[in-house]
Amino acid sequence: MKILIVGAGGFIGSHLSEEILKNHRDWTITAIDICEAKILHLLNDENLRFFNIDVVKEYEAVEEYVKNCDVVLPLAAIASPAVYVTDPLRVFELDFESNLRIVKWAAQYKKRVIFPSTCEVYGMCEDEEFREEESNCVTGPINKQRWIYSCSKQMLDRVIYAYGIRDGLHYTLFRPFNWIGSRLDDITNPNNGSSRVVTQFLSNIFHGKDICLVDGGNQIRSFTDIADAIGALIKIIANENNCADQQIFNIGNPYNQMSIKELAHNIVELAKEYDKTKALAEKTKILDINSSEYYGKGYQDVSKRVPSIQKAESLLLWKPGIGVKESLRKMLDVYC
């Protein structure tokens, strides 16, 4: 199988490429990204070809790679809430416009597309568990620019679904729920808002800064270890008996529910167990901050985000098994 991974140098792309090259030697990868730092250790593998391409600007080159693959995963995206608020058009250009071209080419050339949707498409849905086929997609007012990411992903979900109905496009949509692990973000950046929540807290500790809980940190999230998540993606790519064809899957761990406040305290306590971070963690304070002060007035948050994974369990025969504390410890093992 010839697999095209657009955004192969990112968090998901690097772990997926690593797993494919290790355990699926009958699959080959064409990897596209603007940065190869996270996959440097893979570049000498004969089953991977890397191309330094900016999909926003060099899209004609990307079309040729789509033509020559069997399956395309358009993973390139901006997934940082701070950027949603401060530079929403940049999010739209990459997350929607660039990926829309890839989806259109997949339909035109009869390629299978595996698209990374997001748990954020459910927005402020009030369901206890979000279900792929039933839960509403609820977002806030236009002046809350934080929702441009969610809306970009949701619109592509709808476009892909429509191509499936009209043209028989073979697709799978997967919705990550707070995937965490090594290579998630660059913890060397000391600025608040530069990372997603786990790596932001780690970065704060490493730089001797206090941890800020946005609006008290009472928001509930379901954290998913990247190893569990990649296991689901491999099953989606393999698609045995067409189990993933024209399906939407939540890929998350509902057993790993934790508030952001609990997460902060867990990270600080774990960091005290490592020589490199012990003294820093002991000095780290956990403070409350208003969201408008932290992110700006265009921010809005969700109180609870928990997936139903019944579809993934029944169709993919997949179930996550790694607890959140184990995941955090694995990350600290790498960074410390």
Check pLDDT > 70 for residue 194.
no
pLDDT score recorded for residue 191: 59
pLDDT score recorded for residue 73: 98
Terminal CA-CA length for the chain: 37
What's the predicted TM-score (pTM) here?
0.94
Q: Give domain limits for the chain.
A: 2-183+224-254+306-321
Q: What are phi and psi of 214, to 5 degrees?
A: -70, 120
pLDDT score recorded for residue 93: 96
pLDDT score recorded for residue 279: 96
Q: With cut-offs at 50, 70 and 90, classify the pLDDT of residue 301.
A: confident
Could you read off the pLDDT of 210-260 as tens digits, one per residue? Answer: 999 998 999 999 999 999 999 999 999 999 999 999 999 999 999 999 999
Mean pLDDT (whole number) for 114-136: 96
Q: With cut-offs at 50, 70 and 90, classify the pLDDT of residue 80.
A: confident
DSSP-assigned letter for residue 259: E
Which H/E stretch holds residue 83? helix 81-86
pLDDT score recorded for residue 188: 73
> Collapsing DSSP states into helix, strand and coil, what is residue 308?
coil
pLDDT score recorded for residue 88: 95
pLDDT score recorded for residue 117: 97
pLDDT score recorded for residue 190: 56
Check pLDDT > 80 for residue 14.
yes
**Cα–Cα distance for residue pair 172/167, rounded to 1 Å:** 15
pLDDT score recorded for residue 302: 85
Q: With cut-offs at 50, 70 and 90, classify the pLDDT of residue 322.
A: very high
**Cα–Cα distance for residue pair 282/272, rounded to 1 Å:** 7
Check pLDDT > 60 for residue 193.
no
- CATH T-level fold of 2-183+224-254+306-321: Rossmann fold (3.40.50)
Query: Residue 170: CB partners within 8 Å, gap ≥ 6?
Result: 111, 112, 113, 164, 245, 246
Q: Which of 284, 9, 258, 316 is nearest to 132 (CA)?
A: 316
